[in-house]
Chains A and B, each alone.
Chain A
Amino acid sequence: MDKKATMKAAADIRKLCIEELAAAGYGHIGGSMSICDILAVLYTDILDIDPKDPKKPDRDYLVLSKGHCGPALYATLAYKGYFDIEKLKTLNQGGTMLPSHCDRLKTPGIDVSTGSLGQGLSLGTGVAIGKKIQGLGGTVFVIVGDGELQEGQNWEAVQFIAHRSLSNIVLIVDNNKRQLDNYTENICKTFDYKSKFEAFGLHAFEADGHDVCDIYDKLTQAMKCGPSVVIMDTEKGHGCKFAEIPGFNHYMVISREMADEAIAEIDRRLEASYGQTD
């Protein structure tokens, strides 16, 4: 991977996502920001996909089980050329192709509809088995939130993946440590994800979810070793200055001025990080 290029992609995706949410005037900023670096690595360095042929059967799949963070994925898809970047300004407007939660029938590049938390991993297992039975290549990546792991269905799916030794699916946990109401730890203690997943029979990796190299390394390792999960240590709101707050940031009202300031800050930080990288 080209670290600088991927960091630039992550910054561009963040900026597009903020523009998109600002056009709507509000939205799920916190959880969208926490997955931008993961999406940048997946779509720049890992996924075997073709924006000109979004439905090719042997493609890699991305299931964003935390469907309310669709805006981050839409920004990524627009960045990759699945559709015109201008469309991002229609988020949540009546008749839009970009609804708040991911919809496979409306948006090119969205593989699976999500929104009712806890269902994406099961859908992913079905795609993985469907590929296997029909001899189709490609890996299925499923992103779940840490709050979302409170849904029991996830653990049904994890047991199933482990029992069947499914090697063409990789689970990614966006462990931003917060859910809508509060810090996850305060709502319902999570205990140690790594040992929980290992107890369920998966290979568990941990990565800094905002370090593109670490994300890439752990995902590529996970892809090689059978049923696996990568637990990404992330920060809710990361990279968007006004959302990097200890208070409520699940969704926020976003003014033009807030967006402009946040976007300028992303550029400043990227410049600074280039200095460190060099």
Chain B
Amino acid sequence: MFEQLINWFPEWARPFIMPMITIGIVLQVNLGVCSYLILLERKLSAWMQDRIGPNRVGPWGLLQPVADMLKLLLKEDVIPGHVNKFLYVLAPGISVFTTMLAFAVVPFGPVPRNLSATDGQFPYIIAPGVDLGLVFIFAVTSLAVYGIILGGWASNNKYSALGAMRASAQVVSYEIPLGMSVVGLALLTGSMSIEKILLHQVDAGILGWNIWFQPLACVIFFAAAMAEAQRLPFDLSECEQELVGGWHTEYSAMKWGLFFLGEYTHVITISFLTSILFFGGWHLPWIAEPDSQYLGSTLVKVLVLLTKSFAFIIVIQMLRWTIPRFRFDQLMGLAWKVLIPLATLNVVCVMIVKQFHLNEWWLLPMSAGLFLGAGLIGTQSSRPFARKTLEPVAEAHGHHAHAH
């Protein structure tokens, strides 16, 4: 496909050509898609709330992202006088850089087997052959919180500082269930490489998709990833109703835009990862099989993957306008008391199945059992909260009053 282009370059430069092309495509598509995702989110929220949404710029408001982008670029870029300038400017950069870097190991199409950098095949992934794809993603996205923390701290604003502190506690907590939830996949596949997990499912057909064996892990992964990306219902760090804008209260113009670019890139990464890790990636029975070789089959495979990811983006956006925000103690309780034990027990289940060479289908009832067991414990432990906590205080007050 690209052999002639590659051969035109000197020998030493050839390994860099395909990655450069891929990076260019991914970056540009990502920027465009992000701005249109914002339009989609605005439209979707409008439809869910019986409104119409942006409809003035272009037909059906389709040029709204262009107008938004122009507005962000042309707005006065205010740097308040009381901020720590260096960190204030650095923070949006970190936010975008880390989320974009995480996309490097996410395949966005049928990655060719036996890929080499110089044979001119389009790789459909920026960095092919990373043995530790999942760990790499977690490492890089765990750095994304620095953008939030530094932005919040450097703003020298109480709302920003509160948002940043919430974000730091939240991200550190939710990294654990996020990592634990995919350990089961790594055990089932025998690799941490995202490409290998994808190929493992593709070769096994639709009944080999990981969702059949790890439905609980899928739910945990999805919830924890949304918490990592600071999306509602986990957006306590920027909740408009109490913290103005949270950590980006003091930001304006394109710096603010960069934060949102980072957030939407994170959402795209989550959606791709969910569809690749649990829903078979580009595989769709009879239409996009590994051995389907009809004209345009590669394009169809890319489209299948994009459609699956798009569905998850829609789900994430709908959840944002459906579920109310957690309280902070509920948020921490969900991570430490529910998700982490469930993810750990899920890994134990996978270990049992692998160790005793049981049929992998045993994992489906095991996951369901864990889920229902968690619900049962939740019923037992949900007790009237206000009375037990506050009653002694009230009685003490009463006693006090009697004494006088």
**Real binding pair:** no
Q: Could you tell me which B residues sit within 8 Å of A by CB distance? A: none
- The interface of chain A, by Cβ under 8 A from chain B, is none
